[in-house]
Amino acid sequence: MAKRENRTFHCNRCGRYHTEYEMDNFEGNFFHDFSAYFGYGSPYDDCFFEFTLCELCMFEIAKDFKHTPMILDKDPFAPPDEQVVPFDYNEFQRRRTEPTPYYKNLFIENYNDIENLPKK
Ligand SMILES: [Zn+2]
């Protein structure tokens, strides 16, 4: 039987981290990797700028954007008018704090778990 590799997720902004020992929760899904490539003319030509943000930090940053980023829903069953929607910070806060009929408290509990992760 193959030995499973443990993965560690670490937010560069706030320091929250999570080590995934088993697939017993979804916390790793709340960390997002970013990579920017520098081109000719930049002092960092041909380099990559890479970092990871937890979802809480990512949305905190996105709420200050002058031009609202879009959320693309890749779910093939998503209604056509919901496949591309502008990010709405208030909607995020609502999903994070209010139960929904289908998911009940899932999002609230997941975001609480992320909020309570240790930092280093
Ligand atoms: Zn963070």
User: How far does residue 11's CA lie from ligand 1's centre (Å)?
Assistant: 5
Q: Is the pLDDT of residue 82 over 90?
A: no
CA dist 50 and 45 (Å) reads: 14
User: How far does residue 62's CA lie from ligand 1's centre (Å)?
Assistant: 13
User: How far does residue 41's CA lie from ligand 1's centre (Å)?
Assistant: 31
Residue 80 vs residue 38, higher pLDDT: 38
Question: Domain limits at 100?
Answer: 7-115
The count of structural domains within the chain is 1
User: How far does residue 56's CA lie from ligand 1's centre (Å)?
Assistant: 6
User: How far does residue 1's CA lie from ligand 1's centre (Å)?
Assistant: 35
pLDDT of residue 26: 86
- Residue spans of alpha helices (H) in the chain: 55-62, 89-97, 106-115
Query: Does 108 reside within a domain?
Result: yes
Q: Which pLDDT tens digit goes with each residue over 5-59? A: 688 999 999 999 999 886 667 899 999 999 999 999 999 999 999 999 999 999 9
pLDDT of residue 3: 59
pLDDT of residue 2: 56
CA dist 41 and 62 (Å) reads: 27
Query: Does 2 reside within a domain?
Result: no
* Beta-bridge mates of residue 72: 84
Q: Which pLDDT tens digit goes with each residue over 92-110? A: 999 999 999 999 999 999 9
pLDDT of residue 34: 98
Lowest mean pLDDT among 22-26, 64-68, 72-76: 22-26
User: How far does residue 115's CA lie from ligand 1's centre (Å)?
Assistant: 9
Token pair of 105, please? Answer: 């408290």
Q: Is the pLDDT of residue 4 over 70?
A: no
Query: Does 120 reside within a domain?
Result: no
Query: Does 1 reside within a domain?
Result: no
pLDDT of residue 77: 85
